[in-house]
Amino acid sequence: MSKILYNNLEQSLLLKNSNVIKVSDRSISYHTDFKVKAVREYLTGKTPNQIFIENGFNLELIGYEKPKGCLRR
């Protein structure tokens, strides 16, 4: 579980991203299509952070380690 806590404003910002299904104060749920796309891009050599940035995520908001952890799972 994430150590980052998302407040209501941050949660609503994250929900504006079409790759996000839902957000709680501790977690982000991603659309299956995004998960598959992210893994495919990772296997072609893109970095996790690059993938998340290109798909509209603010790493200052979600945390710079979040993309790597998501792709590791």
Write out pLDDT tens, residues 14-43. 999 999 999 999 999 999 999 999 999 999
pTM over 0.75: yes
Q: Is the pLDDT of residue 51 over 80?
A: yes
Q: How far apart are CA 3 and CA 40, in angstroms?
A: 27
H helix intervals, 1-73: 8-15, 32-43, 48-54, 59-62, 66-72
Q: Pick from 65, 55, 69: which is nearest to 17 by CA?
A: 55
pLDDT given at position 21: 98
Work out the pLDDT band at 1, boundaries 50, 70, 90. low
Work out the pLDDT band at 2, boundaries 50, 70, 90. low
